[in-house]
Amino acid sequence: MLKEGELRIPSGCAISGIIDKEGKRFNGDEIIKSIALMHDRSNGLGGGFAAYGIYPQYKDFYALHIFYDNLSIKMQTENFISKYFDIESAGNIPTKSVLGVRNKPLIWRYFVHPRNYMVKDGFVDEAEFTSRYVIKINKEYKGAYVFSSGKNMGTFKGVGYPEDIGKFFMLDTYEGYMWMAHGRFPTNTPGWWGGAHPFTMLDWSVIHNGEISSYDANRRFVEMYGYKCTLQTDTEVITYLFDMLVRKHNIPMEKAIKVVAAPFWEDIERENKEVQNELKSIRSVYASALINGPFSIILGFEKGMIVLNDRIKLRSLVAAEKGSRTYVASEESAIRIICDNPHKIWSPQGGEPVIALLKGEQK
């Protein structure tokens, strides 16, 4: 019989992320290799990737990636999109047949720009306009699901093991400066194409290992600010929380992190008056945005990647650096297989973020 320390029960989701802070682009092979190593942390019911910098030729357009259940809903949704957006280009997302990836929906991609006069009439900016209509499609068009809506980035996800999903979407043909991957072990929700990670809103994308016990408190909070959680899953709400805090409320990212993984009260009491006041204000005003329960998340956005554990580190997470690259993964081996000699490797503490931004970007 194996003794304590020799026994390992593989379970839980897998996450992996790579960013080149110099902005150098590279294809999806490495991220597939990294996530494939953690095969046992998935169960074949979901895998997905987010890639940033992949559409330089369309960098000023929102790239809408959409799953459709059938042609009829596709036509209805396209009518809707063309009413509010100028469509620069449209087509299905190239895929190839892979054993283990079945029952695929219609997978389409549109490069769009919000109609200028409508944006002006709505007294909102382009991002807010786009997010509102993305939410509207997800909420009102049954059988259509916008799973990616950012600029110069895209997500690729589905039901299957992540390495199979990566091959299915031919990620080796894309080049980006940042890649994130997720292998899913769903229990709360069925494995369906829309339910795979990442979840996105504009250029925010979140992959997540864990289960958020604060979900309904967070959900009911963000829904007061115009969001609608339609996907029965906690990862969606994390995406909206960051979108709300950073984009809508204009809160610096470092402070937003203190909202979702707030310092403990006993730690706040040890700070000087000014810091105390700030942290108390954050905990008072955004109490309902605190994320609770076990999680390790990678939050991707245009400027880089934020990686975060829950406050008491109930999920595994390792980070490493080499040259201009930062790596994170659920397991150290998933980093070492693509980066054999990192100059720094560490396990971030609970609530302590790893912030890896593109060169020149401010925290």
Residues classed as catalytic: 13
**Looking at 1, 2, 7, 224, which residue binds another protein (CB under 8 A)?**
224
Per CB under 8 A, 189 contacts another protein = no
Per CB under 8 A, 355 contacts another protein = no
For another protein, the closer of residues 178 and 222 by Cβ is 222
Per CB under 8 A, 250 contacts another protein = yes
**Looking at 79, 103, 272, 284, which residue binds another protein (CB under 8 A)?**
284
**Distance (Å, rounded) from C-alpha 260 to C-alpha 256?**
7
The distance of closest approach from Cβ of residue 287 to another protein in the complex, given in angstroms and rounded to an integer, is 4
**Looking at 116, 142, 225, 270, which residue binds another protein (CB under 8 A)?**
225
Q: Interacting stretch for another protein, rule CB under 8 A, among 30-38, 65-73, 262-270, 340-348? A: 262-270
Cβ(338)–Cβ(345) below 8 Å = no
Per CB under 8 A, 288 contacts another protein = yes
DSSP string, 167-194: HHTTGGG-EESEEEEEE---SSS---GG
**Looking at 187, 272, 343, 344, which residue binds another protein (CB under 8 A)?**
187
Per CB under 8 A, 227 contacts another protein = no
Instruction: Choose among 168, 208, 169, 204: nearest CA to 188.
Output: 208
Q: Interacting stretch for another protein, rule CB under 8 A, among 37-45, 190-198, 286-294, 318-326? A: 286-294
Q: If phi over 0 gives left and psi between -120 and 50 gives alpha, with beta otherwise, what is residue 304?
A: left
**Looking at 151, 247, 283, 336, which residue binds another protein (CB under 8 A)?**
283
Taking the alpha carbons at both ends of the chain, their separation in whole angstroms is: 50
**Looking at 285, 333, 347, 359, which residue binds another protein (CB under 8 A)?**
285
What is the per-residue binding string for another protein in 143-182, x denoting contact by CB under 8 A? ----------------------------------------
Residue 185 structure tokens = 């072990």
Total length of the chain: 363
Q: If phi over 0 gives left and psi between -120 and 50 gives alpha, with beta otherwise, what is residue 17?
A: beta
Largest CA-CA distance found in the chain, in angstroms, rounded: 71
For another protein, the closer of residues 29 and 223 by Cβ is 223
Per CB under 8 A, 229 contacts another protein = no
**Looking at 221, 227, 240, 242, which residue binds another protein (CB under 8 A)?**
221
Cβ(13)–Cβ(296) below 8 Å = no
**Distance (Å, rounded) from C-alpha 174 to C-alpha 200?**
19
Which position has the token pair 């990442």?
A: 198
DSSP string, 152-167: SEEEEEESS-HHHHHH
Q: Interacting stretch for another protein, rule CB under 8 A, among 28-36, 102-110, 206-214, 328-336? A: 206-214
**Looking at 23, 294, 321, 322, which residue binds another protein (CB under 8 A)?**
294
For 355, list phi and psi in degrees, rounded to 5. -110, 115
Instruction: Give the torsion sign (CA, 84, 51, 66, 96).
Output: positive
Residues that bind another protein (CB under 8 A): 187-188, 210-218, 220-221, 223-225, 248-252, 254-255, 262, 264-266, 277-278, 280-288, 290-294, 311-312, 314
